[in-house]
Structure formats: C-alpha cells, structure tokens
Amino acid sequence: MKKVSDHIAEKLKKDPTFRIRRELIQQKANVARKIIGYRIKHNLSQSQLASEIGVSQQYISKIEEGHFSTLEMVEIVLSRIGYRLKLKVEPIFA
C-alpha cells in the first residue's frame, strides 16, 4: 500500500498542474489560518469578527473554508486584522 506522501510525490512528477493546484490550496489554507488565528487570539466568534469588519458571518466562514468570492474582499478582511495580500503571477512552465 502506498503512503499518501508517495502518491503526492508521484502526482507532482506526472502532472505539472497538480503542483499549481496544490500550492493554491496551501495558500488559501494559510489565509484561513491567519483569520482563524486572529479570532482565537482575540477570543472572537465569526459573527463578532464579521461585525467588526463589516461583512457577514457567512462570508468569514467561507473565507475560513478557502472559498474566496473576490480577492478584494479577502484583502479587506486581511488588512483589518493586520495583514496584506500579495498577489504574484508566475509562468507555469519556466
């Protein structure tokens, strides 16, 4: 039986777009961790943070799940908790 890490390594070698999708998921997870970490540190619920920022609780929930409707709104949420969003465009096949 293959280990998960072996399967991922194989996919990374065979499918160059897999790496890109994986990196995007990891970046989204990093954004979610920042927001969740902020809420925990400041003892805030999603509703309380949403109220402070001026968005809905459902929107905070979606961002924490990695579902971003617009980069602009993610940038607004992050800036309100002390972070900035940096967008980087790179060629897929260098």
Q: Which two tokens stand for residue 7?
A: 């399967």
Kindly report the pTM of this predicted structure.
0.80
Confidence at 62, pLDDT banded by 50, 70, 90? very high
CATH no. for residue 51? 1.10.260.40
Domain membership of residue 89 (yes or no) is no
Cβ 65 vs Cβ 29: under 8 Å = no
- Average pLDDT over the chain, rounded to whole? 89
For the segment 38-50, the average pLDDT, to the nearest whole number, is 97
Q: Is residue 94 predicted with pLDDT exceeding 70?
A: no
pLDDT of residue 93: 67
Mean pLDDT of 35-51: 96
74 within a domain of the structure (yes/no): yes
For residue 71, tell me if it sits in a domain. yes
Residue with tokens 């990374």: 12
Per-residue DSSP letter, 92: S
